[in-house]
Amino acid sequence: MNELSTEDRIKQAAKALFQEKGYSGTRTRDIAERSGINLALLNYYFRSKQKLFELVMLETIQQFFGTLPQYLNNPETSLDEKIQLLSRRYIDFLKTEPDLPLFILSEIRHNASGLIEKMNLNEVVFKSVLAKQYAEAMGRTEVDTKEIYMLIINPLSLIIFPFVARPMVMALTGLDQNGFDQMMEQRKTLIPIWNRNMLNSDLNTTSSNTTI
Amino acid sequence: MNELSTEDRIKQAAKALFQEKGYSGTRTRDIAERSGINLALLNYYFRSKQKLFELVMLETIQQFFGTLPQYLNNPETSLDEKIQLLSRRYIDFLKTEPDLPLFILSEIRHNASGLIEKMNLNEVVFKSVLAKQYAEAMGRTEVDTKEIYMLIINPLSLIIFPFVARPMVMALTGLDQNGFDQMMEQRKTLIPIWNRNMLNSDLNTTSSNTTI
DNA sequence: GTCTATATTTAGATAGAC
DNA sequence: GTCTATCTAAATATAGAC
């Protein structure tokens, strides 16, 4: 069945524990125990806790951001379809890995600063097909960079934040794990709709009168 | 000038370091050093690192959530004004304490689970004036609880997430600290507008055709 | 490659003088 | 209340046998 090499078993156990307890909260002994191997082997393969962590972290970041460019750069899909796809795929993914965002965000701050810079997401976003399509939709060739931030930060906020704040959201709403998942399922279709409306409302700087 | 008692100096230093490095990443020696006192005194006043942490954490949670009820329950303000006020005040607050949300979210998960439950935010939200005003606006006496979640989770997502993901957002956008603050300043007025439109779009379940 | 045993370092907590 | 010195425990890392 699970014919993983020793090296991979250690990496897998490390990934789980680092995510659960963070870098400093994780003991190498626990990683060894969960891998079903001895502590000495961990150092044999990875030299140190720090090195092991960096490896795991790099893979995790790539797992998280690796798919982003392909969503943003598909010339076959419209601007709106891109947001739909982004919502669906990221929510599906995060339902299987709900602790990933909080892990990445807090460990980047504490133990892996610099990793994000190296990926230069900046270019990835601004040179994307998404950015071009936005400019076209607005009827301009050049678009204020600030508008592009919103275009990407707002959907990501609405997708990721509930996972980051899951314990808080569950306490706030009284939902159990199942109810939480259902809520996120609904958001797959709601977020793109909201996003369209947010973009439209930015067009009419006249902040518009509404029913509520 | 800064005539704090020794006890308060320790607490203040602890707060700063716990926020910066998390519970397990913080050494009591560092807290002592930053307080300008000796390690032994820390234990004299607070008995243990754990006890000191719990105290600091409790105060931090109250600082963060303590103001929420007064925003949600003011009978003088409309639904929309409540969201406006919430956005303005929380963004102002978070500009002075940008690391607070990530700290709370990650430490609650690791070292302070149960603290949130004790505050039963659930009741605070559902019995709020805000919830009543929402029901009225919808022309109903009873409203599906799911709608209330959205009413509160969405603005909070849009307000808090950029702070939680600040390193990522700054890398993504290329903004410096100053530019980031300006972006958040703009969001004070944008978020309430977006929120109005999100609520309206939920009314027409016909997901509506729009310009983009 | 894998283990047991051990060295080394680090960090929390306390004893006891002042 | 505050300090120096020290104890104790925990956790990382390595030596050396198999």
Chain A interface includes B176 (CB < 8 A): no
SS3 annotation, chain A: CCCCCHHHHHHHHHHHHHHHHCCCCCCHHHHHHHHCCCHHHHHHHHCCHHHHHHHHHHHHHHHHHCCHHHHHCCCCCCHHHHHHHHHHHHHHHHHHCCCHHHHHHHHHHHHCCCHHHHCCHHHHHHCCHHHHHHHHHCCCCCCCHHHHHHHHHHHHHHHHHHHHCHHHHHHHHCCCHHHHHHHHHHHHHHHHHHHHHHHHHHHCCCCCCCCC
Query: pLDDT class for B127, splitting at 50, 70, 90?
Result: very high
pLDDT tens sequence for chain A (212 residues): 568 999 999 999 999 999 999 999 999 999 999 999 999 999 999 999 999 999 999 999 999 999 999 999 999 999 999 999 999 999 999 999 999 999 999 999 998 888 888 888 889 999 999 999 999 988 877 788 888 888 999 999 999 999 999 999 998 888 999 999 999 999 999 999 999 988 877 665 544 444 45
> Measured between alpha carbons, how far is A115 from A54 in angstroms, rounded to an integer?
9
Protein residue minimizing CA–C1' distance to D15: A40
List CB contacts (< 8 A) between A194 and chain B: 154, 194, 197-198, 201
Length of chain A: 212
Do residues B80 and B196 make contact, with C-beta atoms less than 8 angstroms apart?
yes
* Nucleic acid strand C within 7 Å of A111 CB: no
Q: Which helix (DSSP H) or strand (DSSP E) does residue B112 occupy? A: none
- A182: nearest CA partner in chain B: B146
Query: pLDDT class for B2, splitting at 50, 70, 90?
Result: low
Interface contact B167-A102, CB threshold 8 A: no
Q: Is the pLDDT of residue B212 over 70?
A: no
> Measured between alpha carbons, how far is B193 from B163 in angstroms, rounded to an integer?
20
List CB contacts (< 8 A) between B198 and chain A: 194, 197-198
Domains and CATH numbers, chain B: 1-53 (1.10.10.60), 66-202 (1.10.357)
pLDDT value of residue A204: 58
Cα separation values, A167 from A46, A170, B113, B141, B177, Å: 34, 5, 9, 29, 29
> Measured between alpha carbons, how far is A132 from A84 in angstroms, rounded to an integer?
17
Residues 8-47 (B) with a CB less than 8 A from some CB of A? 21-25
Optimal mutation site among A157, A163, A176, interface B, most CBs of chain B within 10 A: A157
Residue A101's CB is within 10 A of a number of other CB atoms, namely: 26
Q: pTM for the complete prediction?
A: 0.93
Do residues B152 and B125 make contact, with C-beta atoms less than 8 angstroms apart?
yes
- Specify the higher pLDDT residue, B119 or B110: B110
> Measured between alpha carbons, how far is A57 from A18 in angstroms, rounded to an integer?
9
Name the DSSP letter for residue B127: T
Residue in the block written with tokens 């100053």:
B178
pLDDT value of residue A121: 86
- B144: nearest CA partner in chain A: A173
Q: Is the pLDDT of residue B68 over 80?
A: yes
Q: Is the pLDDT of residue B202 over 80?
A: no
Residue A205 burial (C-beta neighbours within 10 Å; 0-12, 13-18, 19+): exposed
- A194: nearest CA partner in chain B: B198
A7: closest CA of chain B, how far (Å): 27
Torsion sign (Cα): B92, B147, A159, A191: negative
Do residues B71 and B85 make contact, with C-beta atoms less than 8 angstroms apart?
yes
pLDDT value of residue A148: 87
* Nucleic acid strand C within 7 Å of B21 CB: no
Q: Packing angle between helix B177-203 and helix A145-164, nearest 10 degrees?
A: 70
Query: What letters, b where the CB count within 10 A reaches 16 and e where it falls short, cover B18-51?
Result: bbebbbbbbebebbbeebebeeeebeebbeebee
List CB contacts (< 8 A) between B165 and chain A: 105, 156, 160
* Nucleic acid strand D within 7 Å of B37 CB: yes
* Nucleic acid strand C within 7 Å of B127 CB: no
Chain A interface includes B196 (CB < 8 A): yes
pLDDT value of residue B210: 45
pLDDT value of residue B82: 97
Cα separation values, A125 from A69, A85, A89, A128, A129, Å: 8, 16, 18, 5, 9
Q: Read off the pLDDT of residues A72-90 as tens digits, 9 standing for 90 and up.
A: 999 999 999 999 999 999 9
Q: How far is CA B188 from the centre of its chain?
A: 15
Do residues A156 and A60 make contact, with C-beta atoms less than 8 angstroms apart?
no
Instruction: Compute φ and ψ for B63, nearest 5 degrees.
Output: -60, -35
Q: Is the pLDDT of residue B64 over 50?
A: yes
Q: Is the pLDDT of residue B125 over 70?
A: yes
Q: Read off the pLDDT of residues B30-49 as tens digits, 9 standing for 90 and up.
A: 999 999 999 999 999 999 99
CB under 8 Å to A163, separation ≥6 — which residues? A94, A98, A99, A100, A101, A102, A184
**Spacing of A57 CA from D13 C1' in Å:** 21
A25-84 residues near strand D (Cβ < 7 Å):
26-29, 39-40, 43, 47-50
